[in-house]
Amino acid sequence: MQTAEILFVFCKAFAVGGLICAAAQLVINFTDLTAGKILVLFMLAGVALTALGLYQPIVEWAGAGATVPISGFGYLLANGGIHGAEEGLFEALTGPLAAASAGVSAAVVFSFLASLVFRSHTKHN
């Protein structure tokens, strides 16, 4: 891959990821939804868009710009369920778990390692 191609891939990822984050910021600014509700909303949006076949083209075009935000986690779960359902009912239930297990495991391991390096404390105002 040439430098111009790599730069274009980065620009696409940044643009799509930025649009998803900007949409989330608008929801934060103009609604009274809590952070947890917004997180669930965006994850379910990723699931719904995947079920409708609309998220896959975005992932193919933008790469990490579409898979890294929380809507990408919804895409990952839905995609695992869809591929698992092709093999049977049990695999439809375990497919999302298998698809997401590496990312969740990495988050747990790196969080643990960070807790060994840094000391937590109560923030005083």
Q: What is the pLDDT of residues 15-40, one digit of tens each?
A: 999 999 999 999 999 999 999 999 99
User: Which of these, 58, 74, 76, lies nearest to 17 by C-alpha position?
Assistant: 58
pLDDT over threshold 70, residue 125: no
For the chain, the farthest-separated pair of C-alpha atoms sits apart, in whole angstroms, at 55
Query: Could you give the CA distance from residue 118 to residue 120 in angstroms, rounded to a whole number?
Result: 6
Alpha carbon distances (Å) from 95 to 35, 50, 59, 72, 108: 27, 15, 19, 16, 20
Domain ranges (residues) in the chain: 3-117
Verdict on whether the full-model pTM lies above 0.95: no
